[in-house]
Every structure is written in C-alpha cells, then in structure tokens.
Amino acid sequence: MRFVRDNGLALFFLFIFLCSAIAESVVGHSVFNEQQLMHGDEAISYGRYLLSSDFGEAMLENWQSEWLQMLLFALATIWLVQRGSAESKKPGDEGLQSNEDQQVGRHARAKAPRWARVRGWRRAAYENSFLIVMAVIFLGSWLAQSATAWTKFNDEQVQHGQAAVSWLTYLGEVDFWETTMQNWQSEFLALGTMCVLTVYLRQRGSPESKPVGAPHDETGSSV
C-alpha cells in the first residue's frame, strides 16, 4: 500500500491513460469500420485496427505535441519569467544559474545523484537529461506520426485514383503540417494560459498554485 501511496500521481495518470487509450481505440475502430463499409470495403478486426496507420496516426499526432510542450516549457522557463506566476522563477533568476544554486559539483549534497557530483560530459548530460529524453521521445513520436500519416495519406490517394507519394514528399504536404500545427497551437495556448492564470487564480492544496493568500505579484511560490 505504501508503494501505491508514494506513487499515486504516476499510477493514476498511467491508469487514466490506459482507460482513455482503450476508449479511443474502441471508438476509432468503430468509426474506421463504418467508413470501410461506406466505401464498400471489408470491416477489420480490433486487433488489426490497433496495428493500423489510422490508429497510429490518431495517437501519435497527439503524443508528439505533448512531449514538445513539456520540452519547450522546461526550456522557456530557464530564460523567461512571468512575474506572479507559480510556474516561473523569480525575475532576476533567469539563466542556467550557478553550480551552488543547482547543487552540483562540490556543492552537491550527500544524497545527490552521482552524475551531479562529477565533472565533464556526464554532468553536462545529466544537467540536460530531462531535455534529452523529452527531445528523443518528441522526435521519435513526430517521426512515427509522419510514417503512419504517410501510409494513411497514400491509402486515400490510391482510393481516389491518385498516385502514392514518397515519405519525403509527404513531409512537404499540407496534410502533415496541418495535423502537426493543429496539435502544437493548442499546447502552446494551454501553456501560456497556465502561466498567466496562476498569477491571479489559486487552487488550494495544489503545488501548481501559489498559496491562496499569496499576493498576485509573488512569483514562483507554491505549497
């Protein structure tokens, strides 16, 4: 039970992710088969749908933008601040900060991760480990989205009696960039909104909010 309590956030989001992904796949399978029948094609099994480019694209186009959102937020909050926001560093603290502030090298505490204590490439890699992993997942998801969307695009091209295109050609198609931008813009809007709303609004008990009684111009303080 202690494991569950200590990992409640991760377990909850994993659970709700699986619930949503299952629901998406079931309704997606239903919609896909309806369209298949409308076009005079055969319906496919649920298992086959899970491996289809239709399902892959629907899932991956959202995934890539989520990783980009987190990556961009981590990067932007290094160099930019929002006075009064719970999501921002205090004005004047912009930048990578000193080794003392970041508790690395000789400033590392006894229980600090080993790569925070060393020098050279290992510490540089560890200092950027969040960014590196987010970037790899984002680029991988974006690449996979492009591959699944390309397959789906070519299926539609063939159905409409038009020539299939190469993957590189597809990367220049408006279809790919429309789905990409459709997801990016919503993520950027959500991030910007959160930065501003946490200046003036509160959520009692949440670390994503300042304490309820904190002044609007107090930056970066959370419960």
Partner 1 sequence: MTLSAVIAFTLYGVIVALTALGGIVGPAIILVPAAGLAVLWVIMLVSHARS
Residue number, 62 or 128, with CB nearest to partner 1: 128
Q: Which residues contact 43 (CB under 8 A, 6 or more apart)?
A: 33, 36, 37
Output 55 or 142, the one with its CB closest to partner 1. Answer: 142
Q: How far is the CB of 174 from partner 1 (least distance, A)?
A: 5
C-alpha span between 14 and 12 (Å, rounded): 5
CB of 187 to partner 1, least distance (A): 12
User: Measured from the CB atom, is 135 or 197 closer to partner 1?
Assistant: 135
CB contact set of 205 (below 8 Å; sequence gap of 6+):
223
Residue 63 Cβ, how far from partner 1 at the closest point, in Å? 15
∠ at Cα 117 (113, 122), nearest 5°?
A: 85
Query: Biggest alpha carbon distance in the chain?
Result: 70
Chain residues binding partner 1 by CB under 8 A are: 68, 71-72, 75-76, 78-80, 94-96, 120-121, 123-125, 127-128, 131-132, 135, 138-139, 171-174, 176-177, 180-181, 184
Smallest gap from residue 29 Cβ to partner 1 (A): 31
Q: Which is nearer to partner 1, 59 or 68 (CB)?
A: 68
Q: How far is the CB of 210 from partner 1 (least distance, A)?
A: 25
Q: 105, 119 in Cβ contact below 8 A?
A: yes
Closest CA to 185 of 65, 99, 79, 78: 65
DSSP assignment of 94-108 equals -SS--HHHHT-GGG-
Q: Are 152 and 54 in contact (CB under 8 A)?
A: yes
5 in Cβ contact with 12 (< 8 Å)? no
Q: Which is nearer to partner 1, 14 or 171 (CB)?
A: 171
CB nearer partner 1, residue 52 or residue 88: 88
